[in-house]
Structure 1
């Protein structure tokens, strides 16, 4: 029997288990994918502990995971677009990708380019579409100077590159261990922590025109102190700060589609988008993967390999 991650109640990492489960069967408009890689995301921590129960309640036993890359193993009767053996990248909304086999709606998949490593494809959807939405939310373009908080994380590392593609100058807040990577990608690195406001002003003497917060922890207020207009500040994590101040809090919803995902795949395949993989864990070590993620100092993405 195939294996999948399950949990029976809200709680800390210890509630996660890898169990044998019945083989999933695709409906007429679905395909069955054998997963080669599946990314993990901070939002899954919130779901697991029950922090988002009002917004995204769990039913138990619950699976988890959205991102995936793999090989089509079975095709539903009404699916003309995919065949057994096709290599695909996609997502599910059923919290099920952390598994050996997963049923996926046919429209949630795009072709994997051979130039895209499995682990990159498996980690692309959530972080990539969230970054895409954040760039759109602040209206990035030539002439802009934009600060990104959490610039080397899963979402931030993609955001800074998409901002550069849009023609903006980018300042990335990150630890010094990530400064060389940021410079290699055309980003001016600035260390976070005490004195960060002055360091940003020194790096942007003509001012900051937009701010993308991918970290939380007070950066909404920092952006306002820098004089950035509220409609050009977007946070993907500090919802309370957004509600209090009136800045944007647009997540992935407006970009969460196959068209945007296909565009990201093309950028990766062309060498125009670098998706750093911080670590790879076997499915059986899912708890260790989340412990790593919760340190909040990884460069890029952490991926499960079933």
Structure 2
């Protein structure tokens, strides 16, 4: 039963399903994924919660380097403490403080300084029925009290790219570094180490989930836009339009089976695709038929984010 489902994980790569998809669809999909990742990136915010205008790319890249260097120097300080090299630990913390002061001087309202970004993709290769069978197996395992079996089964039921951004909290981290340095000067190495370890544990990790079935479905819809508005479609173009809508419908049903967004979100999207299909049947056409569905996709993507968000 579960042999129908294969799960793969790769760093910064998108693994596409074996579902048939023409090259234009793949091209549009890749562009859509890039757009979603760009739009889904967590914004910089001030302590008051207001968005902060991003620095130019070159400056922002430098800020990231300074923040990463500060984090590295903190770790160096912990290593020096373990080796009873108090002077080296104080020097490392002074360097970390200098790096953080550069960041704060350039962006005084910045609350979170990015220090790491990772991208992980997990995709299900299989049919909608295969996913439904796996869900049934998970339910059976839970009903029987076999939670570990259920955990292993459910781990493969994902088709998504997760962008994880780690940030230093600038409202508290610099003060912790200064406090630890002062403790080291007073000979309080144990207390200084505890402060540094606590500071490192406050790094904020925010995960942005990009459901691949939604990305693929929207890519198909976008590829269908021109054809849906064309008055003199050829038979071949009509066939292509129908295929694109069928692809969107299949991907949405896969997303629904995998539990992305809410049941209403997915039902609304499927209903919108059916409506487009009806209004473009034969030689019917019209401008703006696909405009409303874009908002539905955005709402579904937002609903697909985990509740924990930051941790």
Instruction: Please tell me the TM-score bracket, short chain as reference.
Output: under 0.3
Higher helix share: 2
More strand by share: 1
